[in-house]
Amino acid sequence: MPFWHALLAEWREAWQDANLPEIPRITFTPPDQRGTLTLNIFPLLKAFKGDASQAAAAVLHPLREVTHVEVIKGFVNVSLSSAFWTQFLREALESPREGYTHLSLASDQHLMIEYPSPNTNKPLHLGHLRNLCLGEAVSRLWERIGARVVRVNLVNDRGIHISKSMLGWRKFFAPQTPASVGKKGDHFVGDCYVAFEKAYKAQVDALVAAGMKESEAQVQAPLFQEAQALLRQWEAGDEETLALWRQMNEWVYEGFEQTFQRLGIRFDRVYYESQTYLLGKAIVEEGLERRLFYREEDGSVWADLTAEGLGRKLLLRRDGTSVYITQDLGTADLKFRDYPTLTRSVYVIGNEQDHHMRLLCALLKRLGRPWAEKIYHLSYGMVELPTGRMKTREGTVVDADELLDEMYQRAYELTDAALPEKERAAIAEAVGQGALRFYLLRTDPKKNIIFDPAESIDLKGFTGPFLQYGYVRALRLLEKASERGLVPLPTEPPEHLEAAELSLLQQLFALPAILESSAMGFDPAIAAHYGYELTRRFNEVYQTLPVLQAESVLRQFRLALVGVYHHAIRALLEVLAIPFPARM
């Protein structure tokens, strides 16, 4: 445990012993006020008849390490002693992994984090990128605070959508392959799907023109009937159908894998719905026997969740085939069978499935699964374009691979042309991805993002490259120092600190608290904002105060500041899964 935790614990204990009517809440002092920590004594004022100075005196009496105090209304801003800061620098520099850049407060936690769970009929798009960035960042955040994390991908490799791309291939693309047309496999299969949808829509339109209701036409269109028949053949185990299915999924997996690798994302375990839907069906049977569910006269199986305010939910179709939630039941069961020690099972899924996830939890609860309450839905908002929602039909879907290429190009042009080509390319990839990832993470996950291409590829201001640049500056400075035989060593802060120095020092102090709240809240945006603010303050020091040229005592202190900043910014970039080049 870092020593300042010990200090806060000591303070709280002292307050307990002092028999205060209320214990003050401790927060970080806002930047425009003098002080490092703020004790909130509003709740105590009543007991002291509104006399803030008396209340403050009572609160401060038992505390050590406090040097300067300012009482403003119910706020008591305290500054900490030089000895305190010396010790902070020592711990952050000498053993950052033991309580500064790494914490152990969640070491009893074991999380499974599922993302991005794509369908296998289309390539990944911008929405998947938000999902991937979120899932990876949350995984890393929890690892940072000491938890064990198992990353899991659930592939939706069966269902009507796959049947559609299979039919698309048969009718419009056979016998072509990704290799024969020179395309990534997932994009090729996506083309098959789009071709199907186009032909299907033409059929529906024709039927509607002939006077049929649209909802009826959608079901009656021959292509849809064919797709359903194909799904039944698949579920019946028809060998030819299965062979094509395997082939097309294989193409898609190869394509996905390339994208995952480019993003540096790896999974510990991959689940396939084709392997869990039967488990789901068995669970539905179990529920039927236990009279938790019921069968309609037409043979379909339902759960009545009106008591939970969720209405009725179909679990098996009239023809006995499974629906989406059926396999989700099976997968959920399997996860806890495979990993019985899980304390949390996290689903990173868009908020359009809020209702679905509520249904899933309600069903698992009804089935008496004790771990149902360990499920956490990390629900995130949609990525929209300035023109509205992305739509396949209108061709406005932003493709993940194309966007990554565009980011790379953009960054490449800004990179020093004098660099060796290989190095320049590596930097461009890091900066391009850094910009995109930061852009996708900087907003509260539950809010919708409006993806403005111009702003997202911006490399200035509140962006990933801003943080990367701060990292590079610090790193290079430390390298330069090292060449002169100088290393960051803990020192006592000088008596008079420049405003920029104090500002940076105080912000550095907050890192562990940020890691904790960002992880616990499943909210990487907290770490992103902090990383920006921290780097802003570092830049101010860097820009206005000499480090290597300063006189030796001052130089030593500033070098220590830079050293701690270097640890901190690196930790933040790692946690956000933003690459950090050594030069830019």
Q: Which of residues 220-279 bind RNA (CB under 7 A)?
A: 231, 273
DSSP, collapsed to helix, strand or coil, labels residue 433 as helix
Is there a contact between 188 and 251 (Cβ–Cβ < 8 Å)?
A: yes
Q: Which amino acid is at 81?
A: S
Contacts of 388 (CB under 8 A, 6+ apart): none
Nearer to RNA among residue 150 and residue 523 (C-beta): 523
Nearer to RNA among residue 150 and residue 442 (C-beta): 442
78-117 residues near RNA, rule: CB under 7 A: none
Question: Is the dihedral angle over the CA atoms 408, 414, 418, 419 positive or is it negative?
Answer: negative
Ramachandran assignment for 66, one of left (phi > 0), alpha (psi -120 to 50 degrees), beta (any other): beta
Binds RNA (CB under 7 A): choice among 2, 62, 146, 381: 381
458-497 residues near RNA, rule: CB under 7 A: 458-463, 465-466, 469, 472-473, 476-477, 480
Binds RNA (CB under 7 A): choice among 166, 230, 449, 561: 449
Is there binding between residue 75 and RNA (CB under 7 A)? yes
535-564 residues near RNA, rule: CB under 7 A: 536, 539-549
CB of 167 to RNA, least distance (A): 14
- How long, in residues, is the chain? 584
Q: How would you class 417 by CB atoms within 10 Å of its CB: exposed for 0-12, middle for 13-18, buried for 19 or more?
A: exposed
Q: How far apart are CA 97 and CA 80, in angstroms?
A: 23
Number of chain positions touching RNA (CB under 7 A): 94
506-535 residues near RNA, rule: CB under 7 A: 517, 525-526, 529, 532
Residue closest to 48 by CA, chosen among 62, 64, 59: 59
Q: Could you tell me which stretch among 137-145, 241-249, 253-261, 345-353 binds RNA (CB under 7 A)?
A: 345-353
Contacts of 80 (CB under 8 A, 6+ apart): 36, 37, 65, 66, 67
Ramachandran assignment for 237, one of left (phi > 0), alpha (psi -120 to 50 degrees), beta (any other): left
166-225 residues near RNA, rule: CB under 7 A: none
CB of 310 to RNA, least distance (A): 8
Q: How far apart are CA 237 and CA 7, in angstroms?
A: 66
27-56 residues near RNA, rule: CB under 7 A: 27-30, 32-33, 38, 40, 42-43
Nearer to RNA among residue 525 and residue 572 (C-beta): 525
Is there binding between residue 352 and RNA (CB under 7 A)? yes
Binds RNA (CB under 7 A): choice among 7, 208, 414, 486: 414
308-327 residues near RNA, rule: CB under 7 A: 309, 311, 314, 317-319, 323-325
CB of 431 to RNA, least distance (A): 4
Sheet holding 25-28, edge to edge: 25-28, 37-40, 75-80, 66-72
Q: Could you tell me which stretch among 142-150, 450-458, 491-499, 566-574 binds RNA (CB under 7 A)?
A: 450-458
Q: Which amino acid is at 427?
A: I
